[in-house]
């Protein structure tokens, strides 16, 4: 009995000892020794240390102060390009402007990240280049929904500053070939306050000017070739860095072809319809001519409404002027036709007037003959004096008729009244040849002759006007679409 009890107590004491040892071992494994590493800086403390008031960083002083100039690398991304206005000679575009420079004071090694993307409010705490656009007319920032600005700092102190801008830049245009012209618009980036001893701008070596893939312009095609260069400015205050990019814009003339060239061409062709209308239909031909002239004038005024008042002649001005000239010439052609067709009436009226004048001259000759007979009576001196006065009047009338009317006076049988310088009388032929009377047959012949002349003018005009306009079109389009176009491309 006792040996069994002793065995049971031994087993129980062994189990209690083993359980306490296991619990003690597990507690030792759970207890970890305290870490010996120091506390890590929070982002706020790191930024305060990097560019805070206690860091010694001064945003008013440029990097490398009193040392070499700061090199600022620029590149732009064109988000939209449009609203090119000829009247004000400017263009509008939306860009992402990116500048990158190195500021050794912002280099860090305490933070594990290679770069830090900071809030745009931190831009006031660092130094930035004083870049501005030299040919700018207007610009604005974008603040929806927040300021569209990016600030990124790298471990080596490099700073990337990107901003979204909408710019209106001036673009002097040469409109001599309008609307078949190619314009070159520039963008100039310049330093305002720092001379080249302190700041130098340069383009990014790899793809400095990027354009959105879906970028389209309503009237122009933006050429892929973009000229990059320097435009260093020299002022009284010093020499300032400047870089520029030139955009080549080729105008698409589809709008002007539909709205101006084709309508004016049809108006000119419409004016030629009057050549096939009967010359007696004066209201129809005059109405058609005046309508086409007024329409062409309105069309010409509309073509100049959207263009600046330049002193030189544009390509579209030449086209509109020639079209107006052809339309006006068609109206004048009918005036000439109408005038020629009515000349037979004037000719008949003139012959009737001549016949009446010759009849009057014959009656006056009869009265002179009666005076001469009275002069033969002895002692009738008064009749002789009257006859002498009448002779002098006849001589004056004869001279006037010869000069102005073209009648050939052969004499009235007053030879004893006409005296030469030596006082001898000159007898003239007593006959005055009368004109033959104008018959109805002669009138019809004259009428037909002049009407045929007028019809011949219409027939010639039907060929001359289209042929002349065709020759003008050949010279016009070859000059502006081939010759001048090649010259412009050669100068780019």
How many angstroms from the chain centroid is the CA of residue 67?
A: 50
Q: Which residue has the tokens 């007593």?
A: 430
- C-alpha dihedral over 3, 9, 15, 20, to 10 degrees? -150
What gap in Å lies between CA 485 and CA 250, rounded to an integer? 10
How much is the pLDDT for 227?
94
Q: Which pairs from 374-381 meet CB under 8 Å and 24+ separation? A: none
Helix (H, G, I), strand (E, B) or coil at 212: coil
How much is the pLDDT for 306?
86
Q: Give CA separation, 288 vs 278, 283, 466, 469, in Å.
A: 13, 8, 17, 19
- C-alpha dihedral over 314, 317, 322, 326, to 10 degrees? 170
What gap in Å lies between CA 188 and CA 199, rounded to an integer? 16
Question: Which residues in the chain come in under a pLDDT of 50?
Answer: 1-2, 5, 11, 15-38, 380, 382-384, 386-387, 400, 403-423, 425-435, 438, 440-441
How much is the pLDDT for 356?
66
Angle 90-91-93 from CA coordinates, rounded to 5°: 150
Q: Which residue has the tokens 């003018």?
A: 457
How much is the pLDDT for 427?
47
Q: Which residue has the tokens 């979204």?
A: 164
SS (H, E, C) 163-190: EEEEEEEECCCCCCCCCCCEEEEEEEEE
- Return the axis-axis angle of helices 315-341 and 343-375, rounded to nearest 10°: 50
How much is the pLDDT for 241?
97
Residue closest to 43 by CA, chosen among 120, 101, 108, 126: 108
As a whole number of angstroms, the longest Cα–Cα distance in the chain is 225
Residue closest to 185 by CA, chosen among 201, 199, 171: 171
Task: Write out the H or E segment, with its range, that includes residue 70.
Answer: strand 70-85
How much is the pLDDT for 482?
86
Query: How many residues are present in the chain?
Result: 492
- Dihedral pair phi/psi, residue 417, rounded to 5°: -95, -25
How much is the pLDDT for 53?
79
How much is the pLDDT for 42?
79
Beta-carbon contacts of residue 211 (< 8 Å; ≥ 6 apart): 77, 78, 81, 222
How much is the pLDDT for 41?
73
How much is the pLDDT for 367?
59
C-beta separation of 141 from 110 below 8 A: no
How much is the pLDDT for 212?
94
How much is the pLDDT for 196?
96
How much is the pLDDT for 378?
53
């Amino acid at each position: 009995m006792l040996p069994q009890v002793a065995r049971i107590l031994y087993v129980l004491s062994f189990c209690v000892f083993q359980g306490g040892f296991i619990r003690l071992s597990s507690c030792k494994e759970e207890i970890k020794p305290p870490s010996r590493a120091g506390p890590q800086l929070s982002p706020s403390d790191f930024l305060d240390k990097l560019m805070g008031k206690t860091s010694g960083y001064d945003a008013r002083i440029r990097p490398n102060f009193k040392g070499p100039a700061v090199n600022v690398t620029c590149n732009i991304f064109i988000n939209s390009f449009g609203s090119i206005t000829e009247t004000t000679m400017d263009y509008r575009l939306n860009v992402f402007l990116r500048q990158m420079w190195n500021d050794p004071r912002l280099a860090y090694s305490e933070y594990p990240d290679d770069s830090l993307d900071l809030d745009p409010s931190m831009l006031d705490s660092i130094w930035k280049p004083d870049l501005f656009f030299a040919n700018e007319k207007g610009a604005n920032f974008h603040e929806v929904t927040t300021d569209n600005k990016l600030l990124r700092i790298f471990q080596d102190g490099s700073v990337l500053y990107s901003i979204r801008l909408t710019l209106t830049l001036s673009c002097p245009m040469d409109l001599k070939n309008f609307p078949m012209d190619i314009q070159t618009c520039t963008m100039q980036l310049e330093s305002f306050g720092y001379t080249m001893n302190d700041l130098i701008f340069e383009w990014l070596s790899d793809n400095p000017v990027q354009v959105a893939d879906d970028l389209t312009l309503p009237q122009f095609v933006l050429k892929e070739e973009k000229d990059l260069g320097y435009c260093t400015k020299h002022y009284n205050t010093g020499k300032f860095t400047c870089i520029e990019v030139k955009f080549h814009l080729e105008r698409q003339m589809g709008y002007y072809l539909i709205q101006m060239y084709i309508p004016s061409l049809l108006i000119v062709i419409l004016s030629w319809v009057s050549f096939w209308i009967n010359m007696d239909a004066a209201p129809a031909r005059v109405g058609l001519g005046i309508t086409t002239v007024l329409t062409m004038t309105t069309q010409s005024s509309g073509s100049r409404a959207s263009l600046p008042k330049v002193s030189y002649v544009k390509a579209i001005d030449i086209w509109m002027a020639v079209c107006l000239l052809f339309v006006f010439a068609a109206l004048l052609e009918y005036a000439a036709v109408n005038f020629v067709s009515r000349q037979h009436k004037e000719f008949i009226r003139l012959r009737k007037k001549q016949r009446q004048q010759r009849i009057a001259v014959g009656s006056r000759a009869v009265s002179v003959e009666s005076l001469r007979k009275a002069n033969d009576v002895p002692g009738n001196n008064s009749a002789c004096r009257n006859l002498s006065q009448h002779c002098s009047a006849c001589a004056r009338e004869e001279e006037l008729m010869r000069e102005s009317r073209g009648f050939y006076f052969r004499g009235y049988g007053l030879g004893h009244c006409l005296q030469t310088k030596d006082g001898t009388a000159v007898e003239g032929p007593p006959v005055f040849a009368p004109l033959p009377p104008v018959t109805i047959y002669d009138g019809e012949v004259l009428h037909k002759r002049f009407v045929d002349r007028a019809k011949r003018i219409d027939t010639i005009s039907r060929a001359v006007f289209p042929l002349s306009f065709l020759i003008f079109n050949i010279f016009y389009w070859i000059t502006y679409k081939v010759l001048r176009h090649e010259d412009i491309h050669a100068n780019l």
